[in-house]
Amino acid sequence: MTKVPAPSDSPASDRLPARSLPAPLARGDAGILLADDSPVARRFAAKLLSDRGYRVEVALDGLDALGMLLDVKPDLLLLDSRMPRLDGFQACALVKRAPGLADLPVVILSDCGGLYDRVRAHLAGARSCLAKPFTADELLNAVAGALSDG
């Protein structure tokens, strides 16, 4: 299975596997705002999701994502757990407290993926916490699940 490279991995290739991936399980035209400070992880996730029919906007960190929310009006937020300025947990908690945004689904992308990060994601209001490195199928399933839980 293809895994997204860890931030320390060299970006040998940004290409997706040649095999056919499943179609999105939820609204294929859904808008996703992806915030990740790793260019490799951002490219992998953005290409995978846009190839599956999702509209994808990218942010460099949580603060940029918050600044883009009103213009982009996403159906889902994908937030890296560890980013400069404002991490995914902090950004998620702020979104969940904002009027009119509390119902916006959030998935945290975590470098650790352990119990601690899953609990932090839950307490911040995220729908789920996906451990990095993740496969294309795992990301697509997490996105589809978060969009269909509404």
Q: Which domains does the chain have, with CATH numbers?
A: 31-148 (3.40.50.2300)
Q: In the structure, what pLDDT confidence band is assigned to residue 149 with cuts at 50, 70 and 90?
A: confident
DSSP state of 99: T
pLDDT tops 70 at residue 18? no
Going through 16-118 in order, the beta strands assigned E by DSSP cover 31-35, 55-59, 76-80, 106-110
**End-to-end Cα distance, the chain:** 29
Look at residue 138 in the predicted model and tell me its pLDDT.
96
Dump pLDDT digits (tens) for 29-70.
899 999 999 999 999 999 999 999 999 999 999 999 999 999
Collapse the DSSP code of 1 into the 3-class scheme (helix H, G, I; strand E, B; otherwise coil) and give the result: coil
